[in-house]
Structure 1
């Protein structure tokens, strides 16, 4: 394959990534404008995922009933199915539950990052890990303090922000590659 054809293929692939990045940014803006609808959508998607994962886990447990841990596998699968059905039957309850879990996970992540930062303290740039942990702790406390009132918009807002940030890297990364390629292929 010639260098020109190779560059054309790279440009085409990177062009699709930029287009996807623009789409992600637009979707992120739409989600931020309507965070309630996005929160409900995310809650439904996660509820369905939990239900299907439970069905798969239950089927797997039944297929491997001769192996050790059969009953535990079966109980976990059934628990997933029941949780998925319960969350699907009450999407607002699912949003409340997911928001509470989200706040708890972020708080725990922050605490663990702070601990890890002090364990690696002599290393270069350990302060960034500490800062990340402190911010996560503050964010987790904020989420839990505002719960349940933030449940109708928080997951949607964070999903929108995530889409926008993903869209930005999907645009910036290919542009950096194209810039590098143009500098290296010039005579």
Structure 2
């Protein structure tokens, strides 16, 4: 019995993986567009999200550390989670300082992500036909980091949201474009 190369016996896991890649890309691109149009709101909301996550993480960690007091390591956990809790509370109480700190962290993240995406894209050029999209995403991330670096500190109130939006948009588009040819290769 001869089977056609496009028969329904294709692995569904592979198709679902490509579909998931496309869905994640679309979601990231949508968040990116929203952050680009509302950069100050995106900056403030990102700061608050991080602040509350650190506060909750620290609080749960403090509770956990207290519950393992018979173990000698409880003091290390208590100190580390106490620090996270205090940082979270400080970011909640002083959001402008939190925005400045997060902007610096995002700048470093964009620069590192850009370099890694460019290197991965170039390394993938022999195996993936549309490797240029990874390089494009890396260039966008690296450019975002450079813009934050040279605009510091005057643009901190909106740069974080705008750069996150551009990064999410470029990453989302690159994922959608990576899923396209893979879907056709089945």
String of CA shifts for 1:132-168, please: whole Å, max 9, x gaps. 9xx96x9767645533212112221221122112211
Distance in 2 of aligned mates of 1:56 and 1:94: 21
String of CA shifts for 1:55-93, please: whole Å, max 9, x gaps. 122122112222233222212211211211121122222
**1:21-100 paired onto structure 2 within 5 Å:** 21-100=25-104
TM-score, with normalisation over the residues of structure 1?
0.66
Contact 2:32–2:167 (CA under 8 A) maintained in structure 1: yes
TM-score, with normalisation over the residues of structure 2?
0.66
Give the count of matched residue pairs. Answer: 157
CA distance 1:168–1:6, shift in 2 (3 Å): same
Taking only aligned residues, the RMSD between alpha carbons, in angstroms, comes to 3.5
Distance in 2 of aligned mates of 1:9 and 1:99: 39
Displacement after TM superposition at 1:180 (Å):
0.8
- Return 5+ residue gaps in structure 1 as ranges: 114-131, 182-187
* Larger proportion of helix: 1
Question: Larger Rg: 1 or 2?
Answer: 1
- Equivalence for 1:4: 8
- Return 5+ residue gaps in structure 2 as ranges: 1-6, 117-137
